[in-house]
Amino acid sequence: MRLSRYFLPVLKETPAEAQIASHRLMLRAGMIKQQQAGIYSWLPLGYKVLKRIEQIVHEEQIRAGHIPLLMPTLQPADLWRESGRYDAYGPEMLRIKDRHDRDMLYGPTNEEMITDIFRSHVESYKQLPLTLYHIQWKFRDEVRPRFGVMRGREFLMKDGYNFDLTKEDALHAYNRHMVSYLRTYERMGLTAIPMRADSGPIGGDDTHEFLVLAETGESEVFYDAKVPELKLGDRQVDYDNREEVAGICEEFTTLYARTDETHDEALFNEIPEERRQVGRGIEVGQIFYFGTKYSEPMGATVNTPDQGKVPVHMGSHGIGVSRLVGALIEANHDEKGIIWPEGVTPFHVGIVNLKQGDVSCDSACEALYRAFAEHGLEPLYDDREERAGAKFATMDLIGLPWRITVGPRGIAANKVELTCRRTGESEEMSAEAAVEKVAAIYAAL
Ligand SMILES: Nc1ncnc2c1ncn2[C@@H]1O[C@H](COP(=O)(O)OP(=O)(O)OP(=O)(O)O)[C@@H](O)[C@H]1O
Ligand SMILES: [Mg+2]
């Protein structure tokens, strides 16, 4: 992409309404525009990051054996009357009537609808286990939408639902979700800690929330200092292997890590004092096992091997896809702007031409642009007629992890400058070497 032809409406002023860094930076970097309280348009740069996050979520769900589909945002109230949640849900639910005066709602979550799909098409235990998920917009009429996309009213969520014959099978599905979530967040360059949680209005027995440590987080968290050091790394997981998957969950949930809702002071005080950590966290996901809470009232049953009929055991598992964009920025920024981890960056590398219109600079930039494209990478080429300072400020603000600077003096000596956004360190090298180095970093992801 050439910046002269892109749509990147950066703001010079810091927007007064934004209280936290991620919200300020998303507005300043031209990633989002607020349309109403808690409702945003995703401008091209923000949309690109959202899509990168979605892609990682899809890949890791499919790797775990879960199947994507897509349910509508609008749902009939009658389905929610079957589960009893139409009246129970309260003012967070946006209720709508169509022209025939039928009650509808903008889905805040999809347990009822997925249970309806299941009961319409699945009859036998032989069709289990089954986990279906989608990535779809949700609406919750939050009392206090704030912090930009972190607490929106309309927001994008991945929500998945498992259907199993027994509790034991459903707990394996729960564990599969935990491990696939750990992988998902790690690929984005985030450390998200699973913490035992309260089940809230969805109801259920087993539940963990995933929290990213950040001072601006809405939840208070208590944890053992050893927990954030745990890494899945590049180990290969066989998601069908129950012992292996359960073992990983145990590794990540044995040490103390809880939110204020489930915090137990006595247990916490058993940790050696120097390892006791109190901080704040952003909830980026949650997994639940809730047994037959929906399958029983809604009649989602299967035939069993011994001619019986039983309601299936279910769970639901969510990732805050749009909230993650904000959480990633909270965890990765400095005073100049965003610092994208390579896994989610909107463009892989920025090319800054210090002397637009100079034949040698222009042709070196064009050659770099083509070379990156040949490696399957997307560069953002700042080809505007602007001062060097303004070009650097834009690149720093939008946070591409790598920047290549091309100037007349360097080109005369066959040199460009490669700069790492995170460390600020620069190196001079040939254009070919710079392309190789950046390509190798992305190839290793
Ligand atoms: N208003 C919102 N704006 C953006 N993301 C949200 C919002 N509400 C929930 N999410 C994201 O969706 C995920 C799954 O939804 P879940 O039902 O667990 O939310 P929740 O527990 O009600 O969230 P919260 O406690 O933050 O209100 C959450 O972990 C969070 O990352
Ligand atoms: Mg939650």
Token readout for 350 is: 């920025």
Instruction: Decide if 234 is inside a domain.
Output: yes
* Dihedral of alpha carbons 345, 348, 354, 358, sign: negative
What pLDDT score was predicted for residue 200?
Answer: 62
Token readout for 234 is: 């590049």
Instruction: Decide if 258 is inside a domain.
Output: yes
Domains held by the chain: number: 2
pLDDT tens sequence across 401-419: 999 999 999 999 999 999 9
Distance separating alpha carbons of residues 68 and 52, to the nearest angstrom: 17
pLDDT tens sequence across 94-131: 999 999 999 999 999 999 999 999 999 999 999 999 99
Angle, helix 21-28 to helix 321-331, in steps of 10 degrees: 100
Distance separating alpha carbons of residues 249 and 262, to the nearest angstrom: 19
Give the list of residues 6+ apart from residue 227 with CB closer than 8 angstroms, or none: 193, 252, 255, 256, 257
Q: Are 207 and 258 in contact (CB under 8 A)?
A: no
Whether 119 is in the pocket of ligand 1, judged by its Cβ within 6 Å, is no
Instruction: Decide if 2 is inside a domain.
Output: no
Q: Are 33 and 10 in contact (CB under 8 A)?
A: no
Whether 142 is in the pocket of ligand 1, judged by its Cβ within 6 Å, is yes
Instruction: Decide if 327 is inside a domain.
Output: yes
Asked if residue 105 and residue 205 are part of one domain, the reply reads yes
- Which residue's CA is the nearest one to ligand 1's atom 21? 286
Prediction pTM value: 0.97
Asked if residue 376 and residue 272 are part of one domain, the reply reads no
Domain that residue 428 falls in: 347-443
Token readout for 87 is: 């009246």
Instruction: Decide if 1 is inside a domain.
Output: no
* Dihedral of alpha carbons 9, 12, 15, 20, sign: positive
Average pLDDT value over all residues in the chain: 96
Q: Let me know if 203 is exposed, middle or buried by CB neighbors in 10 A (0-12, 13-18, 19+).
A: middle
What pLDDT score was predicted for residue 201?
Answer: 55
Query: Does residue 307 or residue 205 have the better pLDDT?
Result: 307
Asked if residue 366 and residue 283 are part of one domain, the reply reads no
Residue entry with tokens 């235990």: 125
SS (H, E, C) 169-232: HHHHHHHHHHHHHHHHHHHCCCCEEEEECCCHHHCCCEEEEEEEECCCCCEEEEEECCHHHCCC
pLDDT tens sequence across 164-181: 999 999 999 999 999 999
Asked if residue 266 and residue 365 are part of one domain, the reply reads no
Residue entry with tokens 């949640």: 85
Whether 261 is in the pocket of ligand 1, judged by its Cβ within 6 Å, is no
Instruction: Decide if 218 is inside a domain.
Output: yes
Last residue of a domain, one of 304, 337, 370: 337
Asked if residue 258 and residue 371 are part of one domain, the reply reads no
Asked if residue 352 and residue 296 are part of one domain, the reply reads no
**Which of 178, 283, 287, 290 has most ligand 1 atoms within 8 Å of its beta carbon, as the pocket-test mutant?**
283
Q: Are 27 and 8 in contact (CB under 8 A)?
A: no
* Dihedral of alpha carbons 262, 264, 270, 272, sign: positive
Token readout for 143 is: 């009392």
Query: CATH code at 65?
Result: 3.30.930.10
pLDDT(38) > 70:
yes
Asked if residue 288 and residue 366 are part of one domain, the reply reads no
Q: How far is the CA of 188 from the centre of ligand 2 (A)?
A: 20
Query: CATH code at 422?
Result: 3.40.50.800
Asked if residue 430 and residue 360 are part of one domain, the reply reads yes
pLDDT(66) > 60:
yes
Q: Which atom of ligand 1 is nearest to the CA of 284?
A: 31
Last residue of a domain, one of 308, 337, 366: 337
Among 30-34, 202-206, 329-333, name the one with the lowest average pLDDT.
202-206
- Which residue's CA is the nearest one to ligand 1's atom 18? 286
Q: Are 131 and 160 in contact (CB under 8 A)?
A: yes
Query: Does residue 154 or residue 14 have the better pLDDT?
Result: 154
**Ligand number nearest to the C-alpha of 109:** 1
Last residue of a domain, one of 337, 362, 388: 337
Asked if residue 380 and residue 318 are part of one domain, the reply reads no
Please count the helices (runs of H) and the strands (runs of E) in the chain. 14, 23
